[in-house]
Amino acid sequence: MSNRHALTTPLNQPPLKRARTETPEVRDLVSDTSQLAISAPMPPVPHLPYLHRLSFQGRASISNAADTRYFCKSKSLVYQFVDIADIVENELGQLVSCTLRCGICGNRAWSWKRGGTSKGSTSNASGHIRDKHQALWRAAEQADKAVLGASDGTDELEGEAIQTSPAPIPPFNMEEFYRKITRWIITANHAFTEVENNEWRELMTFVRPALQDHLVRSTAIREKLLRHADAAREQTKQYLKYLPGLLAIACDAWTSSNRIAFLAITASWITEDWKLQELLLDFAQLRGTHTGEHMANIVATTIAELGISDKVVSLVSDNASNNNTLIRHLSNTLQRSSPDSRWDGSKGHIRCLAHIIHVANPYRYL
């Protein structure tokens, strides 16, 4: 049984117009501006500190500006509540102009143009949302403050969020260097000992001789990876905390070719605009026997750690007999630990249809 894990669903991207704009500015458009069209693809999963923003009430859902590569790195809250259309790029692929429309009421739209005296200010758009949609704006600010620990959603100039000219080379950052090494090891499935390879170390010092005394050993990279994993898990917990609605979880166990057993646990839910979202909750190593009780303890621990005991309504699994035991023990655990849980083991166990078809097919091994 396999699952795809994604927080965002890519959108189709129509051809973009290209032009140069001489007098950049932002100005109000009449309220009957034509309906926006989806005109830019959604980026990869947002930066971890801002994952909670995906669950904002009133978040623009037609073609969210914060989900485009132009504004996905912006800290400003306003992009979460506006849709983007009429995108025009220059020859370098930089945004020249676009139209931003309120994604809550759809009654106001603003023309954005790069540079100029306004430098892409979003004061008109943010002012409209503050005045006309106060409850949604305050809720977003409070969520930001709870997750980020400070107000990180203040207005900023759009010109700061968009690359309008070649950026200067940033100063070398050692922590960022270690972070990129760690990410390279993860994404390419390298061994931690790769950083101890003599040829690799010579390459690094050739590129930057000052690294000679800063190339760490495999144990240090492993420790950094574990710290990054802890931070990512905390961000996942905060994201799920502000997620409205209920969740369905799924789990599957298997043994790798080198005889290591794992249990993967995922969550899925439907957003307010009827989009399916999925997220990997845990990828735990199974030690000892693969009994249903043992797996139920792992699932229950994961649910409790992430604070979603009261949001889980169903569990999808294959038809292995130990999953019946898993459901029974999980039901008992949730009833004791979470009185507000909506879990009903007699109704919440959903068996994987793909696994049923696979088992029923007599030719599956031919």
Distance CA 88, CA 35 (A): 17
Is 0.85 surpassed by the pTM of this model?
Answer: no
CA-CA-CA-CA torsion sign (170, 173, 176, 177): positive
Instruction: Give the pairing of strands 82-89 and 17-18.
Output: parallel
Q: What pLDDT was estimated at residue 93?
A: 77
Q: What pLDDT was estimated at residue 120?
A: 55
Q: What pLDDT was estimated at residue 344?
A: 82
**Confidence tier at 282 by pLDDT (50, 70, 90):** very high
Q: What pLDDT was estimated at residue 112?
A: 85
Q: What pLDDT was estimated at residue 202?
A: 92
* Pick from 348, 319, 350: nearest CA to 331: 348
Tell me the two tokens of residue 157: 């100039």
pLDDT tens-digit series, residues 40-89: 444 444 555 667 788 788 887 788 888 888 888 788 888 889 999 988 88
Distance CA 328, CA 249 (A): 15
pLDDT tens-digit series, residues 223-268: 988 888 888 889 888 888 888 889 999 999 888 888 899 999 999 9
Q: What pLDDT was estimated at residue 347?
A: 85
Q: What pLDDT was estimated at residue 35?
A: 40
**Confidence tier at 278 by pLDDT (50, 70, 90):** very high
* CB half-sphere exposure, 99, CA atoms < 13 A: 20
The DSSP-derived string for 288-336 is: S---HHHHHHHHHHHHHHHT-TTTEEEEEE-S-HHHHHHHHHHHHHHHH
CB 250 within 8 A of CB 316: yes
Q: How far is CA 283 from CA 118, 298, 315, in A?
A: 48, 10, 16
Q: How many residues does the chain have?
A: 366
Q: What pLDDT was estimated at residue 340?
A: 78
**Confidence tier at 173 by pLDDT (50, 70, 90):** confident
Query: Does the pLDDT value for residue 12 go beyond 70?
Result: no
* Pick from 139, 35, 164, 11: nearest CA to 77: 139
- In angstroms and rounded to an integer, the radius of gyration of the C-alpha atoms of the chain is 24
Q: What pLDDT was estimated at residue 198?
A: 92
Q: Does domain 245-360 have CATH number 3.30.420?
A: yes
Query: Percentage of residues in the chain with pLDDT exceeding 70?
Result: 78
Residue 283: CB partners within 8 Å, gap ≥ 6?
Answer: 262, 263, 264, 265
Query: Does the pLDDT value for residue 162 go beyond 50?
Result: no
The DSSP-derived string for 180-200 is: HHHHHHHHTT--GGGGG-HHH
**Confidence tier at 161 by pLDDT (50, 70, 90):** very low
CB atoms inside a 10 Å sphere around CB 60: 24
Mean pLDDT of 197-210: 90
Expressed in angstroms, the distance from the first to the final Cα of the chain is 19
pLDDT tens-digit series, residues 325-347: 888 888 888 888 877 778 888 88
Cα dihedral 335→340→345→349 (10° resolution)? -140
Distance CA 291, CA 289 (A): 6
Q: What pLDDT was estimated at residue 197?
A: 92
Distance CA 220, CA 231 (A): 17
pLDDT tens-digit series, residues 133-144: 988 888 888 888
Rank 33-37, 57-61, 182-186, 357-361 by mean pLDDT and report only the highest: 182-186
Q: What pLDDT was estimated at residue 23?
A: 38
Query: Percentage of residues in the chain with pLDDT exceeding 90?
Result: 15
* Pick from 229, 240, 231, 328: nearest CA to 283: 229
Task: Give me the amino acid identity at 307.
Answer: G
* Pick from 336, 314, 340, 338: nearest CA to 327: 314
Task: Report which of residues 187 and 156 the model is more confident about.
Answer: 187
CB 55 within 8 A of CB 238: no
